[in-house]
Chains A and B, each alone.
Chain A
Amino acid sequence: MIHELDIILETASKIFSKYITHELRYDLNNNNQNLMKLWADIEEQGLTKIIVKENFFGSALPFNSILPVIQMSAKMGVPLPFTETIICNYLFSELNLEPPNGMITFALDTKNIKISNNEISGDLLSVPYLNLTNQITLIQEIDGIFHFIFIENTNGDLKSRKNFLSEPRFDLSIKDCKILKIQKLSLDINFNNIGSIIRSAQMVGSMEKIINLSIEYCSQRVQFGRSLSKFQAIQHQISEMAVELAASNAALSSLQIINEPMLKLDDIAILKIRTGIAAGKLIAISHQVHGAIGFTKEYELSYFTKNLNSWRNDFGNETYWQNILGKSFLEKTNLSLWEYLTN
């Protein structure tokens, strides 16, 4: 499996570097030929079906083997709903539904949802990349049971979110939209947990890139007659980012050895908290050491820091998960903290 994953990573890296430039990231529409070629290659190489079952033509690798791939896509700044499609395909496959072709995105949240006669109305909130695809999955609680729903948006009311994101996000109001698939979600699949894991993996990838950019920039930029990287104040700032990345890496790798992502709620909480904290520090420090150039759209840094801003708020921020984690321990009154930690 390790070997197979290495090949996948190599393939992905080749495809990404063939097409991705910083300019590409700011021209996200279906007429952008390079963007469409990038997607076509991704799909052709089966990269969106790595964790899809074999009967749906996937590679059938375990869930967590996708994390290094997602990490790499974020590090290389893939401006497509690549991660979203991977996760949607995974949900299809786990529910024994055949995944559709093309890009698929998901709604992070919903509001005022009404379902009748196999039609759905309401608001889908914070949906990534709706400018590139109409295929949307959402998770909706109906009578206390979570359902997986798949629709194709045709004439919904699309509002681009004014926000700080690099990836496009939209709110969508749909009315009597036909439901293409609806199925009860099995209990072992928790969409919020999956979302937290993948966003964390994306953050780790972005942070690697941000540190590389900072090192590169500070080594080249000369002020006061020497490169910025020779100033101890700058060295310490960059070291601090490295410390944060190391901690995030450790939190991520603890999930990589477990093959059942749904069971380890505490590990997911720790991962999202730790990467969220790190992301906050990296955003501030990397912009500080870059000076004004980092604040421009032309230079790459902001693409990655904006993504961090977005992802650390998705699927529950640090405080949300800290409360869950804190309660998870405090409520087990028969366990001391040490017993809980070493359990």
Chain B
Amino acid sequence: MSQFNFPSIQETKELSILRLEVRAFLSKAIHNNEFKPSPDAWVFSADPQFSKKIGAQGWLGMSFPKKYGGHERTALERYIVTEELLASGAPVAAHWIADRQSGSQLLRFGTEEQKHLIIPKITSGECYFAIGMSEPDSGSDLASVKTKATKTNDGWNLEGRKIWSTGAHLSNYMIVLARTSPALKDNRHEGLSQFLVDLSLPNISINGIEDMTGQKHFNETLFDNVILKKDALLGEEGKGWSQVVGELALERSGPERFLSHFTLLDAFIGEFRNIILKSGSNLIGKIIAELQTLRRMSFSVASMLQNGQSPETQAAFVKELGNKFEKMMVESLRELSNIIPLHQWPSLLQDLFEDATLRLPSNSLRGGTTEIMKGIIARQLGLR
């Protein structure tokens, strides 16, 4: 049961210095009105100009090799930076996916040419990625994807539809999971491949989908006979499934799984600190206990990634616990509103609360549902 262990990693002095550097940069940016802290900013709040500024600070592609424009810093250093960005509610959605997972995927499986072309732009905050996994008929059952890539004389022909691709409308690339050969009867994971698709190619249409908050951040992307070059195949033909699984550890274990609505918590406490102290210390204590535990777990996973381990199960633990925490946190604030009715809160705080409440259902869907996380854990326990 070693997957249950999260060895404690301490934040070194060097990491704390980096943390304060990032924090100072962000508070200056807020002070200069470069951005307004917002909730769920890694999904909803995209600002390419700001992404470039972060890139210029050396805070993107932090762990990437220097020869591709990266900074060869550790996963722990990257963790510190992402935590600070999330806690401040900075507009990081544009570059988030590229920096978090697509860049690493490209470094592992891309050609030299692709790496030299794309990685430096990810690092400078100019190149953005979308995830091409879900389809209208394939959500949790990802292995059932129908998007198909057919081999041609000089490359591939891509045909199909991807959905819920966050930020595809402002992305340069999408890593598409497609079927390259029929599924084997006893192993549907065979015959899937990943493709690096340049979204500026002809025959691709990206249509925004309004979510229940009224915003368009995710999309349906149509590939209608898109002609891809040979080297668009990312990694090995037919090994797409295991490549995707590796990517998901990066996608699920980070602090965005529990800091999405930190701006709300922070603003709430800022407004009502003295009142809570009188009658709500208990709930704040519970929130702190859960949050600190999650931070330790996520930081521990970062160190596993740094050591070259594949913590897919640990990532599922972080995501599952993080999703639960955020729901509990918002519910606790609601409970505390018995003292001052919601409609009497300052309007900015009301907005944050309403945003969080509306967006909460998506937390435990995006990046894999609760049910999928529990399934992964059950498999590790030998139950499936």
Which A residues have a C-beta under 8 Å from some C-beta of B? Answer: 208, 211, 215, 218-219, 229-230, 232, 234-236, 238-240, 242-243, 245-247, 249-251, 253-257, 266, 269-270, 273-274, 318-319, 321-327, 329-331, 333, 336-338, 340-342
Q: Closest chain B residue to A336 by CB distance? A: B266
Q: List 26 A-B contacts (CB under 8 A).
A: A211-B1, A211-B381, A215-B381, A229-B383, A230-B384, A232-B375, A242-B4, A242-B377, A242-B381, A243-B321, A245-B4, A247-B293, A250-B6, A253-B6, A255-B8, A256-B8, A266-B288, A270-B292, A270-B293, A274-B289, A321-B289, A323-B281, A324-B285, A327-B285, A331-B277, A337-B265
B383 touches A219 (CB 8 A): yes
Which of chain B's residues have a CB closer than 8 A to the CB of A230?
383-384
B374 at the A interface (CB under 8 A): yes
Cα-based distance from A337 to B284 in the complex (angstroms): 10
A235 touches B378 (CB 8 A): yes
A251 touches B293 (CB 8 A): yes
The digit string for B1-35, where 1 denotes a CB below 8 A from any CB of A, is 10111111011000010010000000000000000
A269 touches B8 (CB 8 A): no
Which are the 3 A-B pairs with shortest beta-carbon distances?
Answer: A322-B285, A326-B281, A326-B285
Cα-based distance from A239 to B87 in the complex (angstroms): 29
Shortest beta-carbon distance from A57 to chain B in Å: 31
B284 contacts which of A234, A235, A242, A329 (Cβ < 8 Å)?
A329
A238 touches B5 (CB 8 A): no
Which of chain B's residues have a CB closer than 8 A to the CB of A337?
265-266, 269, 288
A322 touches B381 (CB 8 A): no
Which of chain A's residues have a CB closer than 8 A to the CB of B374?
235-236, 239-240
Surface stretch bound by A, among B45-53, B244-252, B295-303, B344-352 = B295-303
Shortest beta-carbon distance from A300 to chain B in Å: 18
Which of chain B's residues have a CB closer than 8 A to the CB of A330?
269, 273, 276-277, 281, 284
B241 at the A interface (CB under 8 A): no
B280 at the A interface (CB under 8 A): yes
Shortest beta-carbon distance from A184 to chain B in Å: 31
B214 at the A interface (CB under 8 A): no
Which of chain A's residues have a CB closer than 8 A to the CB of B262?
338
Cα-based distance from A192 to B109 in the complex (angstroms): 54
A238 touches B320 (CB 8 A): no
Which B residues have a C-beta under 8 Å from some C-beta of A? Answer: 1, 3-8, 10-11, 16, 19, 83, 87, 262, 265-266, 269-270, 273, 276-277, 280-286, 288-297, 300, 314, 317, 320-321, 371, 373-375, 377-378, 380-384
A341 touches B265 (CB 8 A): no
Shortest beta-carbon distance from A171 to chain B in Å: 29
Which of chain A's residues have a CB closer than 8 A to the CB of B5?
249, 253
Cα-based distance from A269 to B296 in the complex (angstroms): 15
A218 touches B383 (CB 8 A): yes
Known A235-B375, A247-B293: A326·B273 in contact at CB below 8 Å:
no
Shortest beta-carbon distance from A285 to chain B in Å: 12
Cα-based distance from A257 to B303 in the complex (angstroms): 15
| 9 more A-B residue pairs beyond the given contacts A235-B384, A326-B288, with a C-beta to C-beta distance below 8 A | A219-B383, A234-B383, A239-B381, A247-B290, A249-B6, A257-B10, A269-B289, A326-B276, A327-B281
Which of chain A's residues have a CB closer than 8 A to the CB of B266?
336-338
Shortest beta-carbon distance from B281 to chain A in Å: 3
Which of chain A's residues have a CB closer than 8 A to the CB of B371?
236
Which of chain A's residues have a CB closer than 8 A to the CB of B265?
337
Cα-based distance from A322 to B288 in the complex (angstroms): 9
Q: Closest chain A residue to B288 by CB distance? A: A325
Which of chain B's residues have a CB closer than 8 A to the CB of A243?
317, 320-321, 377
Cα-based distance from A256 to B7 in the complex (angstroms): 9
A321 touches B285 (CB 8 A): yes
Cα-based distance from A172 to B238 in the complex (angstroms): 71
Cα-based distance from A251 to B296 in the complex (angstroms): 8
B289 touches A249 (CB 8 A): no
Cα-based distance from A240 to B324 in the complex (angstroms): 11
Which of chain B's residues have a CB closer than 8 A to the CB of A338?
87, 262, 266
A273 contacts which of B83, B289, B382 (Cβ < 8 Å)?
B289
Shortest beta-carbon distance from B93 to chain A in Å: 20
Shortest beta-carbon distance from A114 to chain B in Å: 35
Cα-based distance from A73 to B238 in the complex (angstroms): 48
B4 touches A246 (CB 8 A): yes
Which of chain B's residues have a CB closer than 8 A to the CB of A219?
382-383
A254 touches B296 (CB 8 A): yes
B282 touches A323 (CB 8 A): yes
Which of chain A's residues have a CB closer than 8 A to the CB of B286?
273, 318, 322, 326
Which of chain B's residues have a CB closer than 8 A to the CB of A247?
290, 293-294, 297, 317, 321
Q: Closest chain A residue to B375 by CB distance? A: A235
Shortest beta-carbon distance from B258 to chain A in Å: 11
Q: Closest chain A residue to B378 by CB distance? A: A235
Which of chain B's residues have a CB closer than 8 A to the CB of A246?
3-4, 6, 297, 314, 317, 321
Shortest beta-carbon distance from A321 to chain B in Å: 7
Cα-based distance from A322 to B286 in the complex (angstroms): 5
Cα-based distance from A273 to B328 in the complex (angstroms): 15
Cα-based distance from A270 to B1 in the complex (angstroms): 23
Cα-based distance from A163 to B211 in the complex (angstroms): 53
B4 touches A257 (CB 8 A): no
A341 touches B383 (CB 8 A): no
B8 contacts which of A208, A254, A333, A336 (Cβ < 8 Å)?
A254
Which of chain B's residues have a CB closer than 8 A to the CB of A274?
289-290, 293
